């Protein structure tokens, strides 16, 4: 996996106003104070979500370190809806995104609103491997070892973007890791 490692950053224009970006836009924290971001059509309005600046094609691997009540990591097409409160905007609840949620010691894979329970150990670091042309998306729990949590085989029709939803409580934070 590390052969294909990508260093990702978050796109400020996509960040919900209750998300604070730091560490060179690699880290996102859910905050109580509304941030003074400019209006932008790419911004998530009603959900505390953010997308990567970099598009993902070919083979790539990245890791997310998280602190808080749970983690929600995703890949999404750029044309996922941003405004409104419907499922069309939420990672994993539409046909434009795929997500893994780890919360209260259990994992769930989500796509098109279908929730698939996932077994395996949780970790404060999660890995994602994408082979875009082969249509393979894999999620890993990363500690001393890597444990495959879920793998999906599908067809991707557009470039993807890494997504994070800081959904639980104020102070929770996720960070794209720097990989050696």
User: Does pLDDT of 2 surpass 80?
Assistant: no
CA 70/CA 102 separation, integer angstroms: 5
pLDDT in tens, 35-76: 999 999 999 999 999 999 999 999 999 999 999 988 899 999
pLDDT in tens, 100-130: 999 988 999 999 999 999 998 889 999 999 9
All domains in the chain, ordered by first residue: 12-176 (2.60.120.920)
In whole angstroms, give the CA distance from residue 156 to residue 125.
25
């Amino acid at each position: 996996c590390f052969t294909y490692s990508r260093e990702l950053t978050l796109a400020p224009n996509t960040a919900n106003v209750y998300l604070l970006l730091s560490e060179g836009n690699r880290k996102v924290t859910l905050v109580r104070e509304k941030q003074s971001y400019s209006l932008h059509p790419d911004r998530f309005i009603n959900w505390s979500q953010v997308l990567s600046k970099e598009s993902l094609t070919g083979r790539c691997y990245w890791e997310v370190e998280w602190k808080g009540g749970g983690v929600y990591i995703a890949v999404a097409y750029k044309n996922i809806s941003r405004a409104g409160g419907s499922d069309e905007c939420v990672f994993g609840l539409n046909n434009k995104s795929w997500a893994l949620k780890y919360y209260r010691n259990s994992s769930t894979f989500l796509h098109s609103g279908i929730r698939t329970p996932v077994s395996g150990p949780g970790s404060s670091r999660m890995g994602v491997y994408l082979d875009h042309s082969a249509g393979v998306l894999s999620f890993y729990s990363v500690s001393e070892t890597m444990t495959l949590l879920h793998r999906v085989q599908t067809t991707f029709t557009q470039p993807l973007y890494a997504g994070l939803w800081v959904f639980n409580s104020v102070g929770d934070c996720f960070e794209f890791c720097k990989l050696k």
